[in-house]
Amino acid sequence: MLYTFATGEGITLGLLPQSYVAHGLGDIVIDAATTTAAITLAASAYGATTRRDLAKLGGILFVGLIGVIVAALLGLFIHLPLLHLGISVVAAALFTGFLVYDFNRLANTAMASAGDVIMLAVAIYLDIFNLFLNLLTILQEFSGNSRD
C-alpha cells in the first residue's frame, strides 16, 4: 500500500513541475522549491526544539483543513482568481502549521512503533508536498503568468 502511494505521489510530483517548465515557468518551480525548503527547515527546527507541547494545535489545524477543503470545493463553482489565491495562501500557512505540529509530535515521541514512525513520515511528506503545491500556485499568481 505504501509503495502504491509513493509511486502515485512520485508521478504527480514529476508531471506537475514538467508542466510548468513546458509553459516557460521553470523559475517559479525553483522559487517554490527553495521557499518550501526554507519554510520546512524553519518549521521543523521550531517544532523539534520548542519546549511546548503542541498537541492541542492538531484540532485547530484539522478544522482549518476542513475550511480549506470546503472553500476549494466552492472555488470549483465560483471562478474567482482572488479566491483561488486566498485559498492557496491559507493552505500554505496551514501546512506550515502542520509541519510544526508533526515535527513536535516526532520530537515528543519516546517509544514509537514502526507503524507510528511510518505514519509520521508520511504526514511530514504530505505537509511538505502540499506546502510546495500551494507555494507554486501563489508564485504563479503573483508572477502574472498562467499555465492555461
Q: Which residue has the cell 502504491?
A: 4
Three-state DSSP state, 53: coil
Cα(38)–Cα(106) distance, integer angstroms: 19
**Cβ neighbours for 85, distance < 8 A, ≥ 6 positions apart:** 137, 138, 141
Cα(104)–Cα(86) distance, integer angstroms: 27
Digit-by-digit pLDDT tens for the chain (148 residues) are 677 877 888 887 788 888 888 888 889 999 999 999 999 999 999 998 988 888 889 999 999 999 999 999 999 998 888 899 999 999 999 999 999 999 998 888 877 787 788 888 889 999 999 999 999 999 998 887 654 4
